[in-house]
Amino acid sequence: MTTLMLAPEKNFMPVYDITNPILTWASGPDQRAYFFNQTWLDFTGSQLQQNINEGWFQFIHPDELPLYQDAYQAAHAADKPFQIEFRIKRHDGLYRWFLCNAVPCPNSTGEFAGYIAANTEIHDQKETETERKAIEERFELFLNCTNDGIWDWIDFKTNEQWWSPQFYELIGYQDQEIEPSLDTFKRLLHPEDAPRTIQATNTALEQGFPFDLEYRLRVKGGEYRWFRGSAKVLRNSDGRAVRMTGSLSDIHARILAEEELKAARNKSAQATKVKDAFLSMISHEIRTPLTSILGFSEILIESSDDPDTLNTLEIIHANGEYLLNTINDFQDLSRIEDGQFDTEILECCPATVIENVRNLLKKKAESKNLLFEIEQGSILPETIKSDPIRLKQILLNVVGTAIKYTDEGRIKLGIETTIAENGTHHLKFTVTNTGMGITSELLDHLFAPCSLTDVSVPNFGVGTGLGLMISYQLIEILGGSINVDYRDQSGTTIEFSIATGDISKVKMEKVSASKRLLEIKSSKSAHAFIKQDCRILLVEDGIYHQRLINFLLTKAGAEIHIFENGQLAIDELLRSQTTGDPLGEPYDLILMDIQMPVFDGYATTRQLRSLGFTKPIIALTAHAMTHDRQKCLDAGCDDYLSKPIDRQKMIQVINSVLQPKVKPNLVTK
């Protein structure tokens, strides 16, 4: 062992091993250092002379040197040991942390002769401590910045937990005001939420399922509030749970808002049910008599030659149609409002729709001595992809309103194809009239979106507002837009467009009115007769409807048998069944009224299907809401007709569902 002996006057110094990893130095009573062990010299990469007196200060970090000097002087004045941490520069220029323990050394007479100090490296411990403090600071910052309460369950052998100050604040208590434990938490749980919350905790610990639950806790003062608790379970290498840490969030305001929203939705749903029930009842009560009014007036118009009688009948029929259109408009508005408005986009001929509108409105214009013109600005596509029924409805409403508010002159309907900026194809319709036309105030109301709860508009006459309000929304549904230009004294221009689909490869044509009119008439005549001899069983309790439908279908070539309720119809089919033949063999089709006494149409249809009746059943009903059709189909009907009965549509539907008759094989001998 190599040792260093001090000079005789310093013989009070102990002997040190120069290979000791402890950095050692010694100073005299004048505070000047005179000894440094070899470990110091090797660590700093310096010579002894570089360290003597105050030379060694160069190796102490500048930030800690003043602290060291203050500590040394204070200890020297009191003749006491001192301890301080500072960084010493290593030979590679890096600073390392050391703990300096300095003790006073007496001389041979017992007087203070200076300090001897051992400097132990603590750099790794210091770095760990620094990291620990940084983590603690970040955690403290997290706790101060989050609104969530944090809890920690470290030892499952006890129920003791740690709750953050914010956790206490959420439940209304001061920090540590109540014991943070699982038992306390259980006492705070709402009785209705306690079983599932404790079960979820146990499941998370035992089976590893996530813990994420909403529950109520009793806060200070006795009130229960809603909270959301989330937690993660830490496990050891064996998979055993060793710790559970989680958070607590106040969701009381959100829960109350959701409950209010749910209540509002329920109220809205109930209001919708009441509205739908009211509309359904009104529709049924209006459509039922309209079936007879429109049907018989149409029959009389076709058979009468007297001008005065014809005029009276046409007035009756026109007002009946107005009433029907009004109830249809209300139902359309209800469907749009409920998001249940269905459009049928199919390939259709725009020229056919336009000529239909011309034929329907021409007489109305002539009755006011007005000229109704259609101006085709460009050749039109032979077909477009749109809903022809809704397009016709829009044109009838817009052009019809223009006719209504024009006292003299003309109404012009212009049509042309356009391409929007995004490349989509449209048909643009321009309706213009002469004179005062529709005032700007009226236009603002007519073309404004509305709902059934807000259909109050100024007094602008019978048969105007509701149809245009619906047209505004129908145009948007068909992918278009509308623009109105009112010019005082000189008339009004209404422009609207609908999307047509891609017509770049569609044949373009300019069809004459006479040719299109001939096609329309040919189409109508094709639906004037039933395509084959057939026997129809009509199940209808209304005597006037019996007479009307019997007259129309007999004229169309059918043989009609009438029964006034479902039970009588079932009895007839069972009575007429021949042994070995399927049920209903004598009949080709059933027209089934839905609302009847004894046995209604739904029950009758279901009963017939269960008995094996396979031939077509067409529902007849004054209920015309969207769900009514589906209800009929679900009961087993093949199709559906709403009242008032449209003669052409009725014959068309009958022809579409009739099953071809099989001709018997003729055997010759």
- The dihedral built from the CA positions of residue 214, 215, 217 and 223, taken in this order, carries a sign that is positive
Q: Packing angle between helix 601-611 and helix 566-575, nearest 10 degrees?
A: 20
Question: Which residues make beta-bridge pairs with 499?
Answer: 426
HEC profile for 158-218? CCECEECHHHHHHCCCCCCCCCCEHHHHHHHECCCCHHHHHHHHHHHHHHCCCEEEEEEEE
324 within some domain: yes
Which helix (H) or strand (E) covers residue 24, if one does?
Answer: strand 23-27
Q: Pick the closest to residue 173 from 182, 186, 164 (CA basis).
A: 164
Q: Which of these three, 183, 217, 250, is where a domain ends?
A: 250
- Report the 10 Å Cβ neighbour count for 352: 18
438 within some domain: yes
Contact 593, 558 (CB under 8 A): no
Tens digit of pLDDT for each residue in 569-624?
A: 999 888 887 766 788 888 999 999 988 888 889 999 999 999 989 999 999 887 76
Residue 244 has pLDDT above 60, yes or no: yes
Percent of the chain at pLDDT exceeding 90? 26
Structure tokens at 310: 């014809």
Q: Are residues 355 and 442 in the same domain?
A: yes
What's the CATH code of the domain at 577?
Answer: 3.40.50.2300
136 within some domain: no
Lowest mean pLDDT among 304-318, 388-402, 506-520, 536-550: 506-520
- Rounded Cα distance between 80 and 99, Å, is 17
Residue 445 has pLDDT above 70, yes or no: no
In terms of average pLDDT, the best of 310-319, 359-368, 557-566 is 557-566
Tell which wins on pLDDT, 324 or 165: 165
Domain count, the chain: 5
Whether this prediction's pTM lies above 0.75 is answered by no
Q: Which of these three, 99, 128, 157, is where a domain ends?
A: 128
Could you please report the per-residue DSSP string of 398-435? HHHHHHHT--SSEEEEEEEEEE-TTS-EEEEEEEEE-S
Q: Are residues 476 and 368 in the same domain?
A: yes
What's the CATH code of the domain at 30?
Answer: 3.30.450.20
Phi, psi of 212 (to 5 degrees): -150, 105
Contact 99, 120 (CB under 8 A): yes
Owner of token pair 């105030």: 441
Q: Are residues 557 and 518 in the same domain?
A: no
Identify the pLDDT of residue 331. Answer: 72
Tell which wins on pLDDT, 324 or 348: 348
Q: Pick the closest to residue 101 from 122, 77, 82 (CA basis).
A: 82
Q: Which of these three, 218, 250, 282, is where a domain ends?
A: 250
Residue 522 has pLDDT above 90, yes or no: no
Domain that holds residue 44: 8-128
- In the three-class reduction of DSSP (H, G, I as helix; E, B as strand; rest coil), residue 96 is classed as strand
Residue 221 has pLDDT above 60, yes or no: yes
Q: pLDDT-based confidence at 455, cuts 50/70/90?
A: very low
Average pLDDT over residues 395-406: 84
Tens digit of pLDDT for each residue in 120-140?
A: 998 888 887 777 776 666 666
Identify the pLDDT of residue 196. Answer: 94
Average pLDDT over residues 196-224: 91
Q: Are residues 190 and 116 in the same domain?
A: no
Query: CA torsion angle for 517, 523, 527, 531 (degrees, to 10)?
Result: 140
Residue 310 has pLDDT above 90, yes or no: no
Could you please report the per-residue DSSP string of 293-318? HHHHHHHHHHH---HHHHHHHHHHHH
- Rounded Cα distance between 384 and 502, Å, is 8
Tell which wins on pLDDT, 84 or 139: 84
Q: Are residues 45 and 187 in the same domain?
A: no
Q: Are residues 375 and 496 in the same domain?
A: yes
Q: Are residues 518 and 397 in the same domain?
A: yes
